[in-house]
Amino acid sequence: MAHELATPLAVIQTATETALHVGEEAGAEEQQRLLEVIRRNSNLAVLLLRRLGLARDVEAGTVTLDLGTVDLAQLVTESIDDLRTVVLEGHQVQVVVTDTPMIEADETALREITFNLLSNAAKYSGHNAPIEVTVDTTDHTARVAVRNHGSGVTPGHTEHIFEKFQQLDATSPGAGLGLFISRGLARAHGGDLTVQPATDTGSEFELRLPLPAP
């Protein structure tokens, strides 16, 4: 838990130090950007502190969502920017956005899912290995796919890793709750989170969320 909480706290620290360093020299737009980074990751840190309770709610099917209109492509792009220096450093992140779906969702919960997928992609990929992120829509569904080029998930393990306290590598830091909670949050939105072994190396995690009715 401490390991996973360290990510948003490191982002907050970096943004705060940058804001203090640039001071009044930064324009209003840059100051606003840094404040938004701090706000987003403060919300995420609070969510992570609630994680054990959230795991209980996921298991009981009693997750409470604070719904609002969310630009999914913007949220994913912001998450990548937030993690670029504290988690994704050393990885080339390739982003392909073929659609910019607007969905009804809990923004902070979606950041929790996105942070988990990006952190896992970095954790289980070799240094300098690319991470590929796709945002699009298909079959009345908004989709975010995160692919890494690590050792990958074996076909018989694709459901097991979404169980509580399970990890691909037992020696890796973390509580083993991230994917369990992320799938629970996705399903609370009426969507799902799945994983498939890639055709060559690595794995592809796919988040699907329903689009609003036309």
131-163 tens-digit pLDDT: 999 999 988 899 999 998 876 666 666 667 788
Closest by CA to 167, choosing from 156, 178, 176, is 176
Q: Which of 111-115, 192-196, 206-210 has the highest mean pLDDT?
A: 206-210
**Facing residues of 141 across strands?**
138, 210
The residue type of 22 is V
Please give the model's pTM, rounded to 2 decimal places: 0.74
Q: In the predicted model, what is the mean pLDDT of the chain?
A: 82
Of the candidates 51, 49, 46, 42, the one whose C-alpha atom is nearest the C-alpha of residue 178 is 51
Angle at 126 between CA 144 and CA 115, to 5 degrees: 35
Q: How far apart are CA 103 and CA 81, in angstroms?
A: 21
Instruction: Please state the rounded mean pLDDT for residues 20-39.
Output: 78
Q: What's residue 13's pLDDT?
A: 85
What phi and psi, each to the nearest 5 degrees, are found at residue 151? -75, -25
Bridge partners of residue 194, in order along the sequence: 206
Average pLDDT on 81-98 reads: 85
Element at 204 (helix H, strand E): strand 203-210
Nearby residues of 82 by Cβ (< 8 Å), 6 or more positions away: 11, 37, 40, 41
For the chain, how are helix, strand and coil distributed in percent, rounded to 5?
Answer: 50, 20, 35
Rounded Cα distance, 63 and 182, in Å: 12
Average pLDDT over residues 25-54: 76
Split at pLDDT 50, 70, 90, the class of 171 is very low
Class of domain 2-210 (CATH, top level)? alpha beta
Q: Where are the domains of the chain?
A: 2-210
Q: Are 106 and 72 in contact (CB under 8 A)?
A: no
* 49-77 pLDDT tens trace: 766 677 788 888 888 899 999 999 999 99
